[in-house]
Amino acid sequence: MDRALFIRAISRFLAGLLLVAGLLFIPAGTWDYPQGWLLIGILFVPMFIAGLVMMKKNPELLKKRLNVREQESEQRSVILFSGIMFLAAFLSAGLSFRYSWLMLPVPVTIIAAIVFLAAYALYAEVLRENTYLSRTVEVQEDQKVIDTGLYGIVRHPMYMVTVLLFLAMPLVLGSVISFVIMLCYIPIIAKRIRNEEQVLQEGLPGYGKYMEKVKYRLFPFIW
**Per-residue pLDDT at 160 exceeds 80:** yes
Count of structural domains within the chain: 1
User: Is residue 194 one of the residues assigned to a domain?
Assistant: yes
**In the prediction, which pLDDT does 102 show?**
92
Residue 131 or 20, more confident: 20
185 in a domain, yes or no?
yes
pLDDT for residue 143: 74
Report yes or no on 221 lying in a domain. Answer: no
**What are φ and ψ of residue 71, in 5° steps?**
-90, -30
Is residue 218 included in any domain, yes or no?
no
Long-range contacts at 56-59 (CB < 8 A, ≥ 24 apart): 56/1, 58/131, 59/2, 59/5
Residue 66 lies in a domain: yes
Is the residue at 195 inside a domain? yes
Residue 145: CATH number of its domain: 1.20.120.1630
Residue 198 has pLDDT above 90, yes or no: no
Q: In the predicted model, is pLDDT for residue 62 greater than 80?
A: no
pLDDT band at 50 (very low <50, low <70, confident <90, very high): confident
Could you report the per-residue pLDDT of 142-158, keeping only the tens digit for each?
A: 678 888 888 889 999 98
Least Cα distance to 218 among 139, 146, 156, 142 occurs for: 156
Report the pLDDT value the prediction gives residue 103, as an integer from 0 to 100. Answer: 94
pLDDT category at 71 given cuts 50, 70, 90 is: low
- Give yes or no for residue 108 having a pLDDT over 90: yes
pTM above 0.85, yes or no: yes
Domain boundaries, position 143: 3-213
Amino acid at position 119, single letter: A
The pLDDT value given to residue 42: 95
Please provide the average confidence, as pLDDT, over all residues in the chain.
87
Give, in order, the Cα–Cα distances in Å from 2 to each of 9, 55, 82, 190.
11, 8, 31, 36
Q: Does residue 16 belong to any structural domain of this protein? A: yes
User: Is residue 219 one of the residues assigned to a domain?
Assistant: no
